[in-house]
C-alpha cells in the first residue's frame, strides 16, 4: 500500500486518506493556515487531521455562542466531524429494563391516579360507614368517629405517597434524558445546516469564479475573431 507524508504533521498516512488542500473550503483552509503558515494549495493532509480541524472550527463556533462545552456537546461535535449517526447512540443510552420495584411503583402510581381507584375507594368508605352506623347501630368494630378507618387511611396515604414519588422521579429522569437527546439532535442539525450553508457558499463562489473565467475566455475569443475578420477585410 502506498503512503504519503502530511504537510501538517509530517507523519505518514495511507494514500486512501489523502486530502488535497485545493479541495478544502476557504474557512477550513484558512484555519489550517493559522496553525501552519507553510500550508499552501499544493499541500495535503490526512482525513483524520481534517476531521480534527473541522472539530476545532465547530467547537470555536459553539464556544462563541454558548460558552464552555459539555460532554454532550463534545459528543455532538465528534458525530458531526465523523459524519456518523447520533440517534443510535442516544437510543442505546435511554433503553434499559425497569426493576421489579420500579414496575410496582409505576403500577401503583397509575392505579392511584385513576378514576377506578377514586370510585372504588369512595365506595369502600361509604360501605364502611353504612355498615357501622346503620347495620351495627354504631356499636360495631369501628363506631363513630371511625378511628380504625382514619388509621387505615393514614397508613394508606403514608405508603402510597412515597411510591408515587418514586414513579414520578423515574418519569422526570426519563424526561430529562429525552430533553438532552432532543437538544443533542437539534444541535447537530444546526451544525450540519451551518456546514451545508458553508458548502453552498463555497460552491457558489467557485461557480462565480468559473463564470468570470468563461467570460474572459469568451471575450478573448471575440477579440481574436475580430482581428482575424479585420485582417481578412484588409
What percent of the chain stands above pLDDT 90? 11
**C-alpha span between 192 and 197 (Å, rounded):** 9
For the chain, how many structural domains are there in total?
Answer: 2
Q: Which single residue is written with the C-alpha cell 475569443?
A: 221
Residues 6+ apart with CB under 8 A from 59: 69, 74, 77
pLDDT tens for 59-108 read 877 777 777 777 777 788 777 777 776 666 665 545 567 888 888 888 88
> Mean pLDDT, to the nearest integer, of 125-147?
87
Give the pLDDT score at 205: 66
* Whether residues 56 and 121 fall in one domain: no
Domain enclosing residue 150, as ranges: 100-181
Mean pLDDT of the chain: 82
Packing angle of the helix pair 147-233, 26-35 (nearest 10 deg): 100
**Residue 65 placed within a domain:** yes
pTM of the entire predicted model: 0.58
**Residue 187 placed within a domain:** no
**Residue 106 placed within a domain:** yes
**Residue 20 placed within a domain:** yes
**Cα of 124 vs its chain's centroid, Å:** 50
Nearest to 43 by CA among 11, 3, 5, 12: 5
Three-state secondary structure readout of 177-203: HHHHHHHHHHHHHHHHHHHHHHHHHHH
pLDDT tens for 33-53 read 888 888 888 888 888 888 888
Give the pLDDT score at 125: 93
Packing angle of the helix pair 100-112, 115-130 (nearest 10 deg): 70
* Whether residues 161 and 113 fall in one domain: yes
Which of 49, 69, 89 represents a domain boundary (last residue)? 69
* Whether residues 61 and 105 fall in one domain: no
**C-alpha span between 70 and 55 (Å, rounded):** 14
**Residue 171 placed within a domain:** yes
**Residue 10 placed within a domain:** yes
Amino acid at each position: 500500500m502506498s503512503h504519503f507524508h502530511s504537510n501538517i504533521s509530517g507523519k505518514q498516512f495511507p494514500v486512501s486518506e489523502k486530502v488535497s488542500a485545493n479541495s478544502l473550503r476557504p474557512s477550513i483552509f484558512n484555519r489550517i493556515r493559522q496553525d501552519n503558515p507553510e500550508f499552501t494549495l499544493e499541500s495535503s493532509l490526512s482525513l483524520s487531521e481534517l476531521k480534527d480541524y473541522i472539530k476545532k472550527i465547530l467547537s470555536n463556533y459553539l464556544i462563541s455562542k454558548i460558552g464552555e462545552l459539555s460532554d454532550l456537546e463534545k459528543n455532538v461535535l465528534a458525530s458531526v466531524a465523523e459524519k456518523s449517526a447520533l440517534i443510535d447512540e442516544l437510543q442505546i443510552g435511554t433503553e434499559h429494563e425497569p426493576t421489579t420495584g420500579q414496575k410496582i411503583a409505576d403500577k401503583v402510581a397509575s392505579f392511584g391516579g385513576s378514576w377506578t381507584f377514586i370510585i372504588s375507594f369512595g365506595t369502600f368508605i361509604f360501605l364502611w360507614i353504612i355498615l357501622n352506623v346503620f347495620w351495627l347501630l354504631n356499636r360495631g368494630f369501628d363506631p363513630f368517629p371511625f378511628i380504625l378507618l382514619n388509621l387505615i387511611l393514614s397508613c394508606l396515604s403514608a405508603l402510597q405517597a412515597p411510591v408515587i414519588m418514586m414513579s414520578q422521579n423515574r418519569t422526570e429522569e426519563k424526561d430529562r434524558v429525552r430533553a438532552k437527546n432532543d437538544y443533542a439532535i437539534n444541535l447537530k442539525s444546526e451544525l450540519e445546516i451551518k456546514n451545508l450553508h458553508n458548502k453552498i457558499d463555497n460552491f457558489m463562489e467557485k461557480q462565480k469564479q468559473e463564470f468570470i473565467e468563461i467570460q474572459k475566455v469568451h471575450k478573448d475569443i471575440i477579440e481574436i475573431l475580430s482581428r482575424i475578420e479585420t485582417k481578412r477585410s484588409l
